[in-house]
Amino acid sequence: MADPNNIIEDFRLCHGLLFDQIGVSVRLASKCAVQANWSIEESQKARPSVQLIKTHRIQDTIIYENNLALDKEGTLFNPPKALERFKENNPLYEKTPDKAIIFRIDKELWNINFTRDDIKPTDEFVEAIKKAIEHETPRRALDDVFSEYGYWLNCKFKVGSRLERFIQFEPKQDHHPKDVELRQTEWMGEFIFKDGENILFNEIYDEWSNEILPFFEENFLFSADGCVVKAGGISAWLKYSPRVSNQWSVIERADFVPTYKFLDESLIANIEKLFSDETEILMIGKSPIDCRSDFCQVGFSQPLLSNAYKVHGEVYNRGERCDVDTTLYSTSIYGFSLEIEWHEFPESC
């Protein structure tokens, strides 16, 4: 069997996670957020496990598809205020009814745990956070940093080999597989053998074959390394699959923590203060005005998402503040207009 010592690097487990709010995927950040001490233990499960699952909500489908083991009371479902916006339009929190059928066979090989107290942020992550906090638009700058280093880190992993079929195909008949009623919502357990027969696997496989496969052209599963395994090859896969690491994958992620929580206390406090403030600085800039005019028009370098913003500013001439009153005349996503009342015109006008 392949050496497990390279698992942390091969699977980039010290990289934070990004949850795609447009689609349904969880992906690794491009840059490494932390350094960690860990323990790797060989799984105590002696036999493979088999599952046949029917989901009923978009949220459940995404959880299974991305191999998440979530605690409903945990921080991913109950993020700190600094990450509350993470829940907006995110399919991970979508409870709209939806159905999917998942059939999978797992050979759990390794359990990996990060020691939370020993997790330290990388120097690069710390420096990027400090620069973002000092930026003229810090919240946007922080989001840019988290987009590179990840918003979340998970601290518990299971690595193993998996065969899976996740039903997201067009049916070949009018009857849609989403309408299939399985005899159970979920089968899950280790292979059970009796008189040489695999009782649990046979029961689950019969349900899969009789209720699901009629809607599809071929009977096959996918392995982590992209191979197609047909029904007749499952026994050989079970016998030989764990031998090389490219047949391994992360089959479960658990214990999620915001990446910023591993920074020192002062940086954590700054981040939480910035995101707890209901007022966000969208941009800062300077615009020349004609002191002979009562109006000033300012255009943005890129449009905003909304015209529901406020403008704060002052008028200066050669470094000295002018005696004027300004009124916001009109706003759009492309810019705004100010009405200016001059109490005293600058001498240079």
Domain assignment present for 40: yes
Q: Which residues lie below 8 Å from residue 250, measured CB to CB, with a gap of 6+?
A: 11, 13, 67, 157, 158, 159
Q: What is the pLDDT of residue 153?
A: 95
Question: How does pLDDT run across 325-340, given as a tens digit for each residue?
Answer: 888 878 888 888 888 8
The more confident residue out of 194 and 252 is 252
- Does a structural domain hold residue 288? no
| Global pTM value | 0.71
Other Cβ atoms within 10 Å of 166 Cβ, number:
16
Residue 228 has phi, psi (to 5 degrees) of: -95, 125
What does the alpha-carbon distance between residue 287 and residue 297 come to, in Å, rounded to a whole number? Answer: 9
Burial of 300 (0-12, 13-18, 19+ CB in 10 A): middle
User: What per-residue confidence (pLDDT) applies to 172?
Assistant: 45
Q: Same domain, yes or no, for 169 and 33?
A: yes
For the chain, what is the domain count?
Answer: 2
Alpha-carbon gap, residue 124 to 15, rounded angstroms: 13
- Domain limits for position 20: 4-276
Q: Are residues 314 and 218 in the same domain?
A: no
Do 193 and 305 lie in a common domain? Answer: no
Top pLDDT among 149 and 42 is at 149
Same domain (yes/no): 240, 121: yes
Structural domain contains residue 14: yes
Does residue 169 carry a pLDDT above 50? no
The token duo for 246 is 């490219």
Q: Within this chain, do residues 146 and 72 fall inside the same structural domain, yes or no? A: yes
Which pLDDT belongs to residue 195?
53
Q: What is the structure's pLDDT at 349?
A: 59
Is 348 part of a structural domain of the chain?
Answer: no
Q: What are phi and psi of 258, to 5 degrees?
A: -60, 135
Residues 173 and 177: their CA atoms lie apart, in Å, by 9
Residue 218: predicted pLDDT: 65
Question: Regarding predicted confidence, which is higher, 308 or 140?
Answer: 140
Q: In angstroms, how far is CA 126 from the centroid of its own chain?
A: 21
- pLDDT at res. 278: 64
| pLDDT single digits (tens) 50-60 | 777 777 788 88
Whether 263 and 316 map to the same domain: the answer is: no
Q: Residue 304 is encoded by which pair of tokens?
A: 């905003």
In a domain, 225, yes or no: yes
Measured in degrees and rounded to the nearest 5, phi and psi for residue 344 equal -155, 125
- Residue 254 and residue 203 share a domain: yes
pLDDT band at 156 (very low <50, low <70, confident <90, very high): very high
Establish if 347 belongs to a structural domain.
Answer: no
Chosen domain end from 249, 276, 303: 276
Instruction: Please indicate whether residue 105 or residue 155 has the higher confidence score (pLDDT).
Output: 155
Same domain? For 210 and 329 the reply is no
- What is the pLDDT, as a whole number, of residue 264? 95
> Does residue 318 share a domain with residue 206?
no
How much is the mean pLDDT over the chain? 79
Comparing 82-91, 156-165, 279-288, which segment has the lowest mean pLDDT? 279-288
Give yes or no: residues 224 and 324 share one domain.
no
Are 254 and 329 within one domain?
no
pLDDT band at 211 (very low <50, low <70, confident <90, very high): low
* Predicted local distance difference test score (pLDDT) of residue 188: 54
Estimate the crossing angle of helix 123-134 against helix 265-276, to 10 degrees. 40
Does any domain span residue 195? yes
| Long-range Cβ contact pairs of 332-335 (< 8 A, separation 24 or more) | 332/307, 333/300, 333/303, 333/304, 333/305, 333/306, 333/307, 334/299, 334/300, 334/303, 335/297, 335/298, 335/299, 335/300
Query: Does 28 fall in a domain?
Result: yes
Q: How far apart are the C-alpha atoms of 162 and 203, rounded to whole Å?
A: 19
Do residues 45 and 121 both lie within one domain? yes
